Amino acid sequence: MELPLETVALFALKLAYEREGESPILRDDPIMSDYEREVFGLLVRRRDVEGIQFRVGHCVGLALEAIGGADTVLGHELHRLVVNFSAARTMDQLDNPLVALKDYLKDIV
């Protein structure tokens, strides 16, 4: 689960901060320090659903703002997906919304 969480964070931060013509944001970029696989791994081992949701929500919130908010076509779907992810109450319930969020962010990056 750590890799998909890190991937969601990476794609979200790419949307928020990466600009055309500049160096791409990579997994080892300093901006990823709070969202790297080891950080998510610790949260997963602790089964800290709220901690995971907080970190993912922060990244996706930045991406949502970067694409114009929930009132845009892309933003509406992203908002819907993050709401589904935030509604999960157990680790098992995070899986499907996480995959949907990752796939959507991958498509729009």
**Alpha helices (H) along 18-48:** 37-45
pLDDT for the residue numbered 17 = 94
d(C-alpha 106, C-alpha 11), whole Å: 6
pLDDT for the residue numbered 72 = 96
Cβ-in-10-Å burial (0-12, 13-18, 19+) of 6 comes to buried
Three-class secondary structure of residue 1 per DSSP: coil
The mean pLDDT values, 10 residues at a time, for the chain of 109 residues are 96 94 89 93 97 97 96 96 97 97 96
State pTM to two decimals: 0.93
d(C-alpha 7, C-alpha 3), whole Å: 6
